[in-house]
Amino acid sequence: MNERDKLIAKLIKEKGGSRQDYLNLLDSIAYHESGHTMDPTMKQIEGGPGRGKYQFEAGKNAGGITAARRTAKYYKNNNIPVPKWLSSAASGDNLDATTLSSEQQDILFLGNMREHPKANFSNVWEG
């Protein structure tokens, strides 16, 4: 089982849904955010700060680094070893998501949403 699927399995236990539900959610959002390309190296059209298939904003203390910090926090709070790539990504004050693989961006999205104060996967599955 890859790292993304391990995280999805943990989220299913906490918030319900199925593996396919999470994969469909990831694909739907990435498809929209990446201008229908699903390209993990996508940079926002016309030079904006959005980066990667989820268009995490690059910049000091912007969305990309916030997502990395939230995901690392989730791992730590759940006694899951923080992967080296995530520890490195969360250590600065800026993150360009295009430096991460497609799977790593999926993990970043899931961890960010799990730790977001207003997001709740259970609400998605319950309609």
pLDDT tens, position by position, 15-50: 999 999 999 999 999 999 999 999 999 999 888 999
Contacts of 28 (CB under 8 A, 6+ apart): none
Residue whose entry in the numeric block shows the structure tokens 């904006």? 48
Asked whether the whole model's pTM tops 0.85, one would answer: yes
Per-residue model confidence as pLDDT tens digits over 59-114: 999 999 999 999 999 999 999 999 999 999 999 999 999 999 999 999 999 999 99
pLDDT for the residue numbered 104? 98
The predicted structure's pLDDT at residue 67: 97
